[in-house]
Chain A
Amino acid sequence: MSLFWTIAVLVVLLGLTWRFLGSYIAAIYQGRVHYLEWIERPLYRALAVDPEAEQTWQRYAGALIVFSGVAILLTYLIQRIQGSLPWNPLHLGAVGPALSWNTAVSFVTNTNWQNYAGESTMSYLTQMVALTVQQFVSAAVGIAVAIALIRGFSRKGSPTIGNFWVDLVRGVLYLLLPIAFFAGLIYVGQGAVQTLAGPVTIHDALTGYTQVILRGPVGFMEAIKELGTNGGGFFNANGSHPFEDPTALTNFLSIFLMLSIPVALTYTFGKMVGGIRQGVAVLMAMAIIFAGWTAFTVYAESRPNPAVAAAHVVPQPQGNTEGKEVRFGVPLTTLYNVVSTQTSTGSVSGANDSFTPMGGFGLMSGMMLGEVTPGGDGSGLYTILLFAIITVFIGGLMIGRTPEYLGKKIQSREVKLAALGVLVMPIVVLVMTGIAVSVHAGRVAPTNSGPHAFSEILYAFTSQTNNNGSAFAGLSGNTPFYNVMGSIAMLLGRFAIIVPVLALAGALAAKSVVPAGLGTFRTDTPLFTGLLIGVILIVGGLTFFPAVSLGPIVEQLSHGRLF
Chain B
Amino acid sequence: MLLHIRRSVVLSLIFLVVLGLVYPLAGTGISQLLFTHQAEGSLTPDGSTLIGQAWTGPKWFQGRPDGNVVTDGPHHVVVSGTEQLGPRSKTLEEAVAKEAKRLKEEGIVPTQDLVTYSGSLVDPDITPADAYAQVKSIARARGLPVNEVRHLVATHIHTRQLGFLGQDYVIVLELNEALARLH
Contacts and interface: CB of A to CB of B under 8 A. Distances in A.
B128 to A, nearest CB: 10
A291 interface: no
Interface of A: 2, 5-6, 9, 43, 46-49, 62-63, 66-67, 69-71, 74, 90-92, 117, 119-120, 128-130, 132-133, 136-137, 165, 168-169, 172, 177, 180-181, 184-185, 188-197, 199-200, 202, 204-207, 209, 211-215, 217, 219-221, 235-238, 240-243, 246-249, 251-252, 305-308, 310-311, 313-318, 320-329, 332-333, 348-351, 353-357, 359-360, 447-448, 450-452, 455, 472-474, 555, 558, 561-563
B93 A332 contact: no
Contacts of A326: 64, 113, 118, 123, 125-127, 130, 167, 169
Contact of A555 (B57, B88, B110): B88
B9 to A, nearest CB: 6
B12 A71 contact: yes
Contacts of B89: 307, 448, 452, 562-563
A327 B125 contact: yes
A235 B50 CA distance: 14
Contact of B112 (A6, A307, A316): A316
Residue in B21, B48, B75, B163 with the greatest tally of chain A CB atoms within 10 Å: B48
A430 B36 CA distance: 49
Interface in B118-172: 118-127, 130, 160-167, 169
Closest 3 CB pairs of A and B: A248-B166, A240-B119, A129-B20
A66 B73 CA distance: 37
Contacts of B75: 90-92, 120
B27 A185 contact: yes
Given A215-B41, A325-B123, A313 B7 contact: no
B14 A313 contact: no
A133 B100 contact: no
Nearest to B129: A317
A217 B24 contact: yes
A323 B119 CA distance: 4
A188 B38 contact: yes
B42 A191 contact: yes
Contacts of A195: 28, 31-32, 39-41
A452 B85 CA distance: 10
A354 B86 contact: yes
A311 B79 CA distance: 28
B39 A193 contact: yes
Contacts of A351: 82, 84, 119
B23 A220 contact: yes
Interface residues of B, number: 99
11 contacts: A91-B75, A190-B38, A195-B28, A202-B48, A207-B53, A212-B77, A307-B88, A332-B167, A354-B84, A473-B81, A474-B86
B74 A184 contact: no
Given A128-B20, A202-B43, A211-B53, A313 B100 contact: yes
A504 B163 CA distance: 48
Contacts of B101: 313
B68 interface: no
Contact of A177 (B23, B31, B40): B23
A48 B7 contact: yes
Interface of B: 1, 3-12, 14-16, 19-21, 23-24, 26-28, 30-32, 34-35, 38-43, 45-48, 50-51, 53-57, 60, 64, 73-75, 77-82, 84-90, 92-94, 96-97, 100-101, 110-113, 115-127, 130, 160-167, 169, 176-177, 180
Nearest to A353: B84
Nearest to B52: A242
A549 B162 CA distance: 42
A133 B21 CA distance: 9
A163 to B, nearest CB: 11
Given A214-B78, A249-B161, A207 B60 contact: yes
Given A240-B119, A321-B112, A323-B84, A308 B92 contact: yes
Contacts of A307: 85-90, 92-93, 96
Contact of B20 (A132, A197, A305): A132
Contact of B90 (A211, A241, A563): A563
Contact of B27 (A46, A194, A215, A246): A194
A360 B116 CA distance: 18
Given A66-B4, A193-B39, A206-B46, 11 more contacts: A70-B8, A74-B16, A129-B21, A177-B23, A207-B60, A214-B78, A237-B121, A322-B85, A324-B119, A326-B123, A326-B126
Contacts of A2: 160, 164-167
A172 B19 contact: yes
A357 B19 contact: no
Given A192-B38, A242-B51, A321-B112, A66 B5 contact: yes
Contacts of A120: 73-75, 77, 79
Contacts of A306: 87-88
A202 B173 CA distance: 13
A204 B46 contact: yes
Contacts of B164: 2, 5-6, 9
A59 B59 CA distance: 70
B86 A452 contact: yes
Contacts of B35: 185, 188-189
Nearest to A1: B164
A563 B38 contact: no
A248 B51 contact: no
A449 B170 CA distance: 36
Given A249-B161, A325-B120, A326-B167, A117 B5 contact: no
